[in-house]
Amino acid sequence: MLNAKGSIFDLDGTILDSMGMWMDIDIRFLREHGIRATEDYSQAVKTMGYRGAAEYTVARYGLSLSPEEVIARWSEMADAAYASEIRLKSGAIDYLRCLREAGQKLAVATALGFSSVESALSNNRILDLFDVFTMVHEVKRGKTHPDIYLLAAERLGFPPRDCVVYEDILPGILAAKSAGFTVCGVYDFSSARDWDRITEAADHTIADWSDLL
C-alpha cells in the first residue's frame, strides 16, 4: 500500500476495465455518421473530457451535430455499459478497501460525466468508498494539465505532496508530477506503447492492483 493522506484515482483504464468499451463507442458513433475510426482519433480525445472531445469531433469531421448532441449520444451509449457491463480491474476493490481501512481519503478525477461515474461505481458497489468526485468539465483544461488533480486535492483538504495520483495515461502522469503529486502509473493495454515512458515518469508503477496489496 502507498502511504498518503489522500489518494486520487482516474477511472477508465485505472480502476475500471473500460478502455475497450470506449474504443467500441468511438467506432460505433463514427460509423453511425459514415466515418471510420482511427487510432490517432482515440488517442487525441482520451484526455479531453466530454465537452472538449465533442467539440474536437464536430470540428474534425465537419458533423452537422452540436457538441451537446454528440455528448448526449455518447452518454447514452456509455451509461448503458457502465450500469451493467463494466467491471473493476483485478484487485482494485481490495486495494481501495485497504486504503479506507488505513484512514486515507479517496477521490475520483475523471474525464467522465457524473452519471457515468455513479453508474459504474454503484454497479461495482464502491461508490461509498469515495469522499470526493472531480470531473474534467469542472476545470478549464484537460488532463494534459494538473488542474483536475489540484481540484481533487483541494476538495480532499490536502496539498499535492500529501496525495498519490493513480493514472494509466502518460499525459495525466506528467501533469500530476508537474504539480508535486506522488504518482503511480497503472498499466492498461490502451497505453501500452507509452509504458516505458510511464515507468520513467511515475514514482511507482503497477501491472495489477495486487502488486500493492
pLDDT digits (tens, 9 = 90+) for 84-130: 889 999 999 999 999 999 999 999 999 888 888 999 999 999 999 99
Check if the beta carbon of residue 179 is closer than 8 Å to that of residue 149. yes
Q: What is the pLDDT of residues 62-96, one digit of tens each?
A: 999 999 999 999 988 888 888 888 999 999 999 99
Q: Give dist(CA 144, CA 106) in Å, integer.
A: 22
Going by pLDDT thresholds of 50, 70 and 90, the confidence category of residue 184 is very high
Model confidence at 13: pLDDT above 90: yes
Model confidence at 46: pLDDT above 90: no
pLDDT of residue 158: 98
Extended strands (E) in the chain: 6-9, 105-110, 132-135, 163-167, 182-186, 204-206
> How is residue 175 annotated by DSSP?
H
